[in-house]
Structures are given as structure tokens and as C-alpha cells.
Chain A
Amino acid sequence: MSKQYLTTHTVDNAHITDIFSIAAAPNALLSASGSSTIHVHASNQPDSPLIQSLTGAHKLGCHHIAVSRNGKVAASVGFGGDVKIWKVSESGSGEWEPFGELDAGKASEKGRGGAGELWAIALSEDGQFLASTTYDGRINVWDLFGDRGATLREYETGTAGSGSFGLCVDLSRDGKYTASGHQSGAVYVFNNDTGRLQYSLPGLVKPVRTVAFSPAGTRLAAAGDSGIIAIYDTKHGEHVGNLTGHNAWITSLDWSDTGEYLLSGAFDGKAKVWSVERSACVATHSETDKALWAVRWLPKTVRNEMFCTAGANRSLTFYREATGA
């Protein structure tokens, strides 16, 4: 029993270099690349036209972009370690405007300046909280509406300053948990209420490049260079299953709105949709044989389920579920 997805359209050469990260707001798709400009495409319009360019956002290029579920706040990280926050204009124009920065270098605690450079980020549902990783394995949670000069939570994943590179991070929708995936293959879940490590999950041995909480927060999916998607139960910290089928490093994961399906993207250009309940791949797509760096479901509007893939071919490809399935 497979599902059918059709390519609706492709925005060719949406960026002049590899697209490294995308984020889906209710009506807009934000994309970040090796160039300094962030693009905003109208994902609710046919052909998804470019509606805004945030030029000069990150001089050395941008590797991570995230948007809050309510679509009001976004954050982006550049290769130079620069973190910018964006918000939707209150004028009602729908335009994104700068909402300050996060000076992580300055805020690094305990005299370990410089190493506090951020890498991966995730935003909470309303955009108030931002979770981040660092090169040396620290995980931080910040209050973007409060004092940005200090972290709300700081978690260590190794002896001070020598943890394994935090390649990816996610926040549960209720903001209660932070999860991180590391170069070492380790996966951690932290409790933001208590400020403690909740679980150190049996990892994947090889680098973990993406982690994602299910919408209800009961499951955590993690994947990376092992080519396997591991599913964990967040209540008890148990490894409950694997999704196997990718033949390449997995770069990106995203849960569908209902939590029934997982979307994954890999370095061989293949995107897959998985039924979590049946532990089975229900659709495989490859519009390109170049690396996919990011895959995202679009927040469900009136139409059918849609998702978008992006990567080394510099294009944004949009898919929708075939009707009648």
C-alpha cells in the first residue's frame, strides 16, 4: 500500500549555490544557501513565486534556517557563526524583517569564549525559545523575547568544552524537551523544565545529522551517516524501531502534521515518505542525483499534503499527494 506524490512544480535555480536549509511557514518557504541571501517563496501560490529576498543576511553563506510553527519568527545561522533572528512584519504586509541577533560568542559562559559558536538551531512553536548546538557539543536554550545575552539552559554532552560536535537539534512542540544529535553518533534528550539530561539514547555509531520530535512529542526520529532512521519513545527513552531503505547518508527528517508519516532526504538525491506505524517506506522520489540537504512538509492548508525538497541542484521541488489515494 504505497502513497502517491506528484511533482507539482520546481523553482529552478532558486539560489546561485547549494541550498543547505529550508523552513516552512504556513504560507512561505524560507531557503538558505551558500550565498549571503535568504529567499522567501510564496508556498501557497501556484509556482511558488519569490516574494522576498533578505540580502546580505550572512556574508559567508547560511547553513541553518528555522521558523516557528506559528510562522511569526525565524532564525538563521551563517558559516561565520552569526545568528540572525527574523519576524513577520506587524504591519500586515507579510514581509520578514530583522529582529536582532544572538551574540553567542559574547554570551559564552564560564570563560570559554569563542567555542560558543552556534551550529544547528530549532525554534519553539511560538518562536520564543531557540535551541542550539555548538562545535564542542554544548546544547543551549535561549529566550528570544527575553534577555538574549544569557542562555536559559545550558547542557553539556561531554567533559567541559570537549563534547562531540552537535550536528542537529530539535525542540518538542510543547517546548518541554530538547533533543540533539552528534558527530559521535550519540543522541540526547534534555528536559527543559528540570534543566537535566532526560535520556542518553542508544545512538547510531555514525554521525547523526538530523533529529525530529513527532508532533505529539511521544516519538523522536534520528538519522545520519548510518543510513538508518531510528525511532525512539520519548516517554521511556527506548529505541522502538528502525526504518531502513536509504543507501546514503540521511541529511534531513520531518514529521507530517498528523505524526503518521516521516519524510526523509539523503545525499543520493532520494526523498522518501515512511509510514511510521507500519515501519515501511511508502514513496520514494528522486528528481535529482545530487545531494538533498533539506526536506520539509508544508503546513497543511486546504489542499492535499505537500512537501518540498532542496539541495545541491539549487532548486526547490514541490510535491503533493495524489488525490483519491
Chain B
Amino acid sequence: MPQDARQTPQTGIIIDQIEEILIANLDALSESQVLTIPIRCRRTGKVQLIRFPSSRNNETKKFAALLQILHLSHEALVAGTVITKRAIYYQNPELFGSQQYVNELVDDIAFTFGLGRDALNIVAASKGLIAGAMSVTIGSSSVFDCNSDDSATFRGLVASRFHETATAGPGVLITAKGYPDLSTRQFLHKLHVASPTLPMYGLVDFDPDGVRIMLTYKNGSRSLQHEENVTLSQLVWIGLRSNDVLEHHKKGPQSAHTNQTHNSSRIPSSQSASFHSGASPCRTRAFSPVEVMLPLKAADRRLALRTLSAAVGKDHQVAESLDLIHELQVMLLLNTKTEIQAVDEAGDLTTWLDYALTSRMNRQ
């Protein structure tokens, strides 16, 4: 990575801001005053002073951790390099205790400065995976995010070379292995800016976390609203949808496989016609992407309910949020969640994906 690229017009301002904090603390030290770092709370937006010394143990620890992160960020900014959150953690694992703790503080600092995290020259540990020939694909085909909690779906799709062989045309496969990190989202956003007509599709499990992952790609995350240029409003939720779950079980349990084979070999023209006229694709979907079905746990229901509440709360009732509301309501009614099927030798998932993607593209 060219190091110069890491120095932006903001860089000088942040270096100043960090140095201001450090100088204020040096002054305080020389006057035997209490040391403080101001941090703005991401929930309330209020500034809070983190003190040293403090009677509260965790405040002392927080002060030390913040100081170290500011120091490392300052070093990276001045040198024009970047540092990963993972590297920060390993500077002093005993102090930080967990990676999560580092992540939280880094986001706190970025929020306090009113900037994106990468303005601190701090990046996430490499997490996302990508497969596909970028130079070929931009401007001509599609991007496809798949996010099952384990990355088995992604590996299966790559192994079957879906990014090259898809009926819908070559594309790029991307996974962030669960909830997407900032770098993956920034990357996708940049891709979108560079090529606005490039369609992007999201494939997630049919469960509350899957929906949240999809929404995080699309709208950003609630706790990182200060980050800019990380949303993908055009992302299409290709699956898994309640229809996929219901379709899976419309067929008799014994005859399921033979039925599926029949359906895929020839799709009656009357059905595809009704599909193009905007009817539900439910009937014409061949193969099932559904792997296992499990009842929702209490925590799943709570998360689904929170997501539903937030979706209903939005004053603009656009078709897209009505769709989201519907999917969450049906999930709660069915009290069932499903994971994406792994790609097996029969290639069921790729067949289904081919079908779902081409149908979707024809409709647009």
C-alpha cells in the first residue's frame, strides 16, 4: 500500500487534536493535576472525561488503553502508515483484555473527533474474503455478498467457481464472515461509486442475525453512524426469504428431491410469464437453498422484534421497509430459522442461485 496515500487533508487536523490532548495531560502532570481524556458517548452524544487516577478501576484501565491507542494512531498518522485493530490489541493484550474492548475504544475515539475510523489510520484486522476477477467484472456483472455465520457457503461457492460460471454472468463473491467489518463495507461502497450500475445482491441466513447483517451492509450500523461512505442502499436481498422456507416445505417430504429435479429441468412458460408480470417468484423457484430448520430461540425473537420495531418506527413507509416488516413478521409467525445450504456435489445452492439471480435481473 503506498504510504503517501494515507495522508489526507484531515491528517494534520487529527494529529493536532491528539497532540492537544497529550499536551494538556503533560501540563496536568507537571501541575500534579488529574489527567483526563475527553470521550463523547456514542449513545448519548455527551462528552465524558476519563480520569487518571480514578477511584474506579475500570476508568483507570480505560484511560491507559485510550492513551495507548491515541499514541499508536498518532505514530501511524505521522509516519503515514496504518495499524490494524488486531495489532493494537497485541501491543498490550493484558491491558486491553479483549479485541472487542479495543474495537469499542477505537470507535469511541473516532466518534469523539467526529471522523471515520480510517481517518485515525486504524483499520480492522483483515477479515473479509473476496473471489472473482475484478478487472473483468466491474461494469459488466454483479457483486454478490454471502454471509452465513461460518464461511462454508462462501468457500463452497468459490470451490464450485460460481463467480465464473454463474448463468447471470461472471461476478465477484464477497464475505465478511458474519457481521460486516468497516473495511468490507468501505470496499463495497467504493466499488459502487466506481461502478454505480453494478448490481449487488446479499445472501444471508433466514434468521434475525441474517436480516441484521443484510441491513448493516445496506444502511450501516447503528453504533457507527459517524462513519461515512459505508452504505449500499441499492443492495438487493436475494435470500433467504420466507418464500424459500415455505417453498421448501410445500413439497411432500419423501418426494421432495424428485419434484425438485422435475421443476428445474423445465419451467413451464406460463409460470415464467406470470413471474415477469410481477407475481411472486415463489412458485417457479427450483431447488431449495434451505439447509436446516430450527425453532427461534428467545434471543432470536427479541432481536427480530427489535428489528421489526425499528422498521415500523421509520416514518417513510416505502415498499422496501414494508417488505422487511413482512419478512420479520413471517419469521416470528413461523417461529423458524434456516441456514443457507452448503454447496454439495449436487450443486443445489448454485442451481438455486442461478435461478434467483437471473429472475431478478430479468425483472429489473
Contacts and interface: CB of A to CB of B under 8 A. Distances in A.
Interface in A15-60: 16-18, 20, 34, 59-60
B183 interface: no
Q: Which one of B280, B298, B332 has the highest number of Cβ atoms from chain A below 10 Å of its Cβ?
A: B298
A80 B302 CA distance: 10
10 contacts: A61-B312, A61-B325, A63-B333, A80-B305, A135-B298, A165-B295, A167-B335, A207-B335, A247-B251, A248-B250
Q: Which one of A16, A34, A249 has the highest number of Cβ atoms from chain B below 10 Å of its Cβ?
A: A34
B249 interface: yes
B252 interface: yes
B305 A79 contact: yes
A248 B332 CA distance: 19
A227 interface: yes
Interface string B277-292: 0001011000000000
B308 interface: yes
Interface of A: 16-18, 20, 34, 59-61, 63, 79-80, 115, 135-136, 165, 167, 183, 207, 225, 227, 247-249, 267-268, 289-291, 293
B301 A135 contact: yes
B298 A115 contact: yes
Nearest to A313: B280
Contacts of B308: 60, 79
B330 interface: yes
Nearest to A164: B295
A216 B333 CA distance: 30
Contacts of A79: 305, 308, 329, 332
Secondary structure of the B side of the interface?
helix
A311 to B, nearest CB: 11
Contacts of A247: 250-252
B194 interface: no
Contacts of A289: 280, 282-283
Contacts of A136: 298
Contacts of B330: 18
B91 interface: no
Interface string B319-342: 000100110011011011000000
A63 B251 contact: no
B282 A183 contact: no
B295 A290 contact: no
Top 6 closest A-B pairs, CB basis?
A: A248-B250, A268-B250, A34-B329, A183-B295, A267-B246, A247-B252
B261 interface: no
A80 B310 CA distance: 12
Nearest to B274: A289
Contacts, number: 64
B167 interface: no
Nearest to A161: B298
B309 interface: yes
Contacts of B246: 248-249, 267, 291
A80 B309 CA distance: 8
Contact of B252 (A20, A207, A227, A267): A227
Given A18-B329, A165-B335, A183-B335, A59 B312 contact: yes
Nearest to A165: B335
B278 to A, nearest CB: 13
A165 B298 CA distance: 10
B322 A17 contact: yes
Question: Size range of the interface on B?
Answer: 20 to 34
Interface in B237-262: 246, 249-252
Contacts of B301: 135
B249 A225 contact: yes
A249 B245 CA distance: 11
A225 B298 CA distance: 21
A17 B327 CA distance: 11
Contacts of B252: 227, 247
Contacts of A207: 295, 335-336
A164 to B, nearest CB: 8
Contacts of A293: 333
Contact of B326 (A34, A115, A267): A34
A20 B308 CA distance: 16
Given A135-B301, A207-B336, A268-B250, 13 more contacts: A17-B326, A18-B330, A34-B325, A34-B326, A60-B312, A61-B329, A63-B329, A79-B305, A80-B309, A115-B298, A165-B295, A248-B246, A289-B282
Contacts of A135: 298, 301
A247 B254 CA distance: 11
Interface in B292-318: 295, 298, 301, 305, 308-309, 312
A18 B250 CA distance: 18
A225 B329 CA distance: 18
B296 to A, nearest CB: 8
B193 to A, nearest CB: 35
A217 B58 CA distance: 64
A226 to B, nearest CB: 9
B52 to A, nearest CB: 40
A79 B308 CA distance: 9
A267 B250 contact: yes
A248 B326 contact: no
Contacts of B322: 16-17
Contact of B325 (A17, A63, A225): A17
B124 to A, nearest CB: 34
A34 B280 CA distance: 18
B218 to A, nearest CB: 21
B231 to A, nearest CB: 25
A292 to B, nearest CB: 11
Nearest to A291: B246
Contact of B333 (A17, A20, A248, A268): A20
A20 B329 contact: yes
A274 B267 CA distance: 33
A115 to B, nearest CB: 7
Q: Which one of B250, B301, B308, B332 has the highest number of Cβ atoms from chain A below 10 Å of its Cβ?
A: B250
A267 B250 CA distance: 7
A31 to B, nearest CB: 15
